[in-house]
Amino acid sequence: MLPHLLSTSYWRGVLVVMAMNVMIAMALNLVLGHAGQLHLGQAGFVAVGAYVSTILIKSHGWNFWMAGLSATLAAGLLGLALAAFAVRLRGHYLGIASLGFAIIVHQSIANWESVTEGMRGIYGIAPPPSISLPGLGEIGFASPVNLFYLVAGVAVLIYLLLSAVLHSPAGEALAAVREDEISAASLGIDSRIWKAFAFALGSAIAGLAGCFYPVYVGTLVPDAFTVVESFTMLAMVIVGGMGTRIGPVLGAVVLTLLPELFREFGQLRLIIYGAALTLVVLFMPGGLVQVWQLLAVRWRRPVPAQETAAAPHLAGGTEASR
C-alpha cells in the first residue's frame, strides 16, 4: 500500500530503488552470509545486468524482457568466471580479487566508448513495455507505482526461490562450506561446486536487479556502479543480519531510507549515516535481526516464582524438573 500512501513521485521512486536494493542485498547475502565467501564486487554484476540489457535494447532493438533474461544469464556466467578464482582463494584474498573485478568492470564501461558510450552515458531509455493481464487489462510501467509492483514482485519471487534453496540439501551444503571447508570435504561435499553455485546464482540475481535500474532512471552512466556502491551493498547485508533470510531485506530498506531522511542535513547527513553504521557494527554485530531477537526475548512474559516452585510437584518430582 505504500505507493498509494506516498503521494509524491519522489518517494515512489525511492520505493522502486528500495525494491532493487532488496534484490541486490539478498543476492550478496547468498555468497557472503550462506556460503561464507567475502565478496566485494557486487556492483560489477549489477553494472553488467544494466549495461547488457540496455545495449541490447538500444543498439539491437531487443524487447526488454528478452534483453533482461540475456543480461541475467550474462551476469551469472561472469559469476562462474569469478568463481574460478574463488575456489582457489579465501578470506581477504578473495575480497581483493572480487574488488578488482568490480574495478575492471567499471573501467571497462567507462572507457569502452564505442559500445557503452563511456562517461557520456546512455540516455532516452524507455520503461519496460506494457503487458496485458486477464482481469486487469493493459498495465504500463511508465508509472512508478506499477514499476514498483513489478520490481517488488520479482523481489518476492527471488526471496521465495532463495528460501527454497536454503531449506534444501543445497542450503545445508552451503552452510557446511561456510563453517569449515575441510570438515565439509570429509563429508563428501565439494566446496568448489557449491562456491561456483553461490557465485553464479548470486551474480545472476544481481544482474537481474541491474536490468531495472536504467529503465527506471532513464539514463545509464558508469558512476552509478563505483566501488563505493559495492561497500554500500555490503553494509546492507551486515546491518540487516548476515546469514539470515530476512536480514538483507531489512538492511536494504533501512539503508535506502536513511540517506533520504537525512538529506535535509546536507553534507552532515554523511557523518550521521557513517556514525549509525559504525554503531551498528560495534554494538549489534548480528544486525537488525539480532535487535529483533533481543526485543522478542525481553517482551516474553517472565514465569512467576510461585509457578516455578510448584512445577516439580506438578510434574512428578525433581527428576521431571531436571
- To the nearest 10 degrees (0 to 180), the angle between helices 91-111 and 64-86 is 140
Amino acid at 188: G
The answer, yes or no, to whether residue 318 has pLDDT greater than 60, is: no
Q: Which residue has the cell 543498439?
A: 59
List all residues 6 or more positions away from 90 whose beta carbon is below 8 Å from its beta carbon. none
The answer, yes or no, to whether residue 225 has pLDDT greater than 90, is: yes
Q: How do residues 37-60 score in pLDDT, each as one tens digit?
A: 989 999 999 999 999 999 999 999
List all residues 6 or more positions away from 17 whose beta carbon is below 8 Å from its beta carbon. 216, 256
Higher-confidence residue of 265 and 184: namely: 184
Spatial separation of the C-alpha atoms in residues 212 and 242, rounded to whole Å = 25
Spatial separation of the C-alpha atoms in residues 116 and 48, rounded to whole Å = 11
Nearest by Cα to 207 from 86, 28, 37: 28
The answer, yes or no, to whether residue 146 has pLDDT greater than 60, is: yes
**What DSSP state is assigned to residue 31?**
I
Give 109-113 contacts, CB < 8 A, sequence gap 24+: 109/47, 109/51, 109/222, 109/225, 110/222
List all residues 6 or more positions away from 249 whose beta carbon is below 8 Å from its beta carbon. 22, 25, 26, 159, 240
What share of the chain has pLDDT > 90, as a percent? 54
What is the per-residue pLDDT for 306? 46
